[in-house]
Amino acid sequence: MGKILIKNATVIPMADGEKMIANGEIAIEGNKIVSVGPKGTVSDRWDTDETIDAAGMVAMPGFVNCHTHAAMTMLRSYADDMPLMEWLTKIWPLEDRLTGEDVYWGTMLCILEMIKSGTTTFADMYFFMDEVARAVEKTGIRASLSRGMVGVAPTAQLALDETAEFVQKWNGAAGGRITTMVGPHAPYTCPPDYLKKVLAIAQQAKVGIHIHLAETRSEVDEIRKLYGKTPIEYVHDLGVLDSPVLGAHCVHLTQNDIKILKEKNVGVAHNPESNMKLASGISPVPQMLAEGIKVGLGTDGAASNNNLDMLEEMRSAALLHKVNSMDASVISSDQALAMATKNGGKVLGLNDIGVLQPGYKADIILIDFNKPHLYPKHDIIAHTVYAAQSSDVDTVLVDGKIIMRQGKVLTMNEQEILENVQRCADRLVG
């Protein structure tokens, strides 16, 4: 088991009650953190394999992207400036043409972009998920993966069969870096009988459910028309929320919906930039946080964002809710950073990531604060949320392994990825 010592860093532990450590050090053994504290915490006799001098840098947990569709990098900027339902009518036909190779290279591009901007874990819902898992396994990132399922599509039964097989094959793979969920797309694409079949797979495999919920007003209106309920009430009454659930978006909620989410311990993936770009609405995140609901952050796919930068997502989340509420104190920088790190771990059911403390997985990023836009250093957390840029991320560790050093990703051939993505995209739209 390798040993790594990070020293001379400003450490943001994100653990409850833990304060920032001005001159701190982090000891890593294998894939776990064994100590975090001020200079001198680690004994001089502790035999390290590598020491990282992080002077001038901030060490913090890697970002957790709670909702995306990785291979949609292939469709970045293909359909812009239109609402969700119109956007889907343009995206879906192109998705029908995607091959496993397209999904592999699109996912590799997504992972490359995420690692370079400090994301160490992501939750994905798409198809050709074996190819996605291969990309995760190769690159060293951590992921919660689910095969997307549309109950009204001709491939509905195939999706169920592939999901059952995928969960059995990949849950716990890549040394535990890969976990799985089942991924019914949304209430408006998954009728009751289909959702019951999905639920049976989840319960048998003992995995969670990743589903879009209450994303648009048109979805809410459609479900009310069909079933006389809100989307949240609909999935609740079917028993879906009796399993661990990751609910993406949760924009249009009633007071009863929020009560249900709280009672059922649903984790919510807030996607502010995608929701703004598609004009889907503004999720009542401040109210959900006040109720104690687990809320993390997601970028959604690069076709509706159009990047995968969690630093931008944090900033957008904070600013959006301030102006929406006309209250500058809403969603503080501390809350925004928590949503991007430790809350995200909880939302994905991964309770040993998102915090720097002994026993947690060593998923750590170093941000270079020796930049003009990060001076003077009045408030390090506020700088991280409101001023830092993805290019400031210097080093990334996942599972105790250095996968990016000085901005260079060590587990990927960047030029090979870019060339293959362009080749696949040209064929796709040609």
Residues with Cβ within 8 Å of residue 60, at least 6 apart in sequence: 11, 12, 14, 337, 341, 356, 364, 365, 367, 384
In a domain, 401, yes or no: yes
* CA proximity to 341, closest of 328, 357, 329: 357
Strands (E), 46-157: 50-53, 57-61, 63-68, 119-126, 142-149
Position 44 pLDDT exceeds 90: no
**End residue of a domain, out of 299, 321, 347:** 347
Same domain, 225 and 146: yes
Position 329 pLDDT exceeds 90: yes
Position 175 pLDDT exceeds 80: yes
245-260, pLDDT tens digit by residue? 999 999 999 999 999 9
Same domain, 308 and 376: no
CA pair distance 297, 270, nearest whole angstrom: 5
Same domain, 237 and 107: yes
Position 288 pLDDT exceeds 80: yes
Position 98 pLDDT exceeds 80: yes
Percent with pLDDT over 90 in the chain? 93
Which of these ranges, 39-43, 145-149, 283-287, has the smallest mean pLDDT? 39-43
CA pair distance 323, 316, nearest whole angstrom: 11
Q: What is the DSSP string of 70-82?
A: GGGGGGTTTS-SS
In a domain, 429, yes or no: no
pLDDT band of 316, cuts 50, 70, 90: very high
In this prediction, residue 149 carries a pLDDT of 98
279 exposed, middle or buried (CB, 10 Å; 0-12, 13-18, 19+)? exposed
CA pair distance 104, 136, nearest whole angstrom: 10
Same domain, 343 and 385: no
In a domain, 253, yes or no: yes
Same domain, 84 and 162: yes
**End residue of a domain, out of 315, 332, 347:** 347
In a domain, 421, yes or no: no
Over residues 170-194, the mean pLDDT reads 98
DSSP β-bridge partners for residue 122: 65, 143
In this prediction, residue 362 carries a pLDDT of 98
Same domain, 145 and 280: yes
Same domain, 32 and 129: no
**End residue of a domain, out of 304, 327, 347:** 347
For residue 93, the enclosing domain spans: 63-347
Q: Give the pairing of strands 178-184 and 142-149.
A: parallel
Q: What angle do CA 337, 295, 136 make, to 5 degrees?
A: 75
Of the two residues 45 and 265, the one the predictor is more confident about is 265
C-beta neighbour count of 370 within 10 angstroms? 11
CATH number of the domain that residue 245 is part of: 3.20.20.140
Is 76 in contact with 306 (CB distance < 8 Å)? yes
C-beta neighbour count of 430 within 10 angstroms? 5
Q: Is 22 helix (H, G, I), strand (E, B) or coil?
A: strand
**Helices 156-170 and 192-205 meet at what angle, rounded to 10?**
10
Same domain, 218 and 117: yes
Chain centroid offset of residue 240 CA: 22
In this prediction, residue 94 carries a pLDDT of 86
Same domain, 361 and 250: no
Tokens (6 digits) for 248: 């993406």
342-361, pLDDT tens digit by residue? 999 999 999 999 999 999 99
* CA proximity to 25, closest of 40, 14, 15, 45: 40
What is the pTM (predicted TM-score) of this model?
0.97
In this prediction, residue 181 carries a pLDDT of 98
Same domain, 168 and 249: yes
In a domain, 307, yes or no: yes
Dihedral sign of CA atoms 343, 69, 144, 393 in order = negative
Is 215 in contact with 248 (CB distance < 8 Å)? yes
136-149, pLDDT tens digit by residue? 999 999 999 999 99
pLDDT band of 274, cuts 50, 70, 90: very high
Under DSSP, the state recorded for 119 is E
Q: What is the DSSP string of 285-322?
A: HHHHHHTT-EEEE----TTSSS---HHHHHHHHHHHHH
CA pair distance 143, 146, nearest whole angstrom: 10
Query: DSSP 3-state helix, strand, coil percentages of the chain (rounded to 5)?
Result: 40, 25, 35
CA pair distance 140, 48, nearest whole angstrom: 22
CA pair distance 164, 366, nearest whole angstrom: 38
In a domain, 233, yes or no: yes
Is 393 in contact with 33 (CB distance < 8 Å)? no
CA pair distance 271, 253, nearest whole angstrom: 15
Site of tokens 């050090």: 25
Report the domain count for the chain.
2
In a domain, 168, yes or no: yes
What is the average pLDDT score of the chain? 97
Position 1 pLDDT exceeds 80: no
Over residues 15-23, the mean pLDDT reads 92
In a domain, 428, yes or no: no
DSSP β-bridge partners for residue 249: 213
354-400, pLDDT tens digit by residue? 999 999 999 999 999 999 999 999 999 999 999 999 999 999 999 99
Same domain, 363 and 269: no
Same domain, 48 and 123: no
CA pair distance 153, 201, nearest whole angstrom: 19
74 exposed, middle or buried (CB, 10 Å; 0-12, 13-18, 19+)? buried
pLDDT band of 93, cuts 50, 70, 90: confident
Position 153 pLDDT exceeds 80: yes
CATH number of the domain that residue 10 is part of: 2.30.40.10
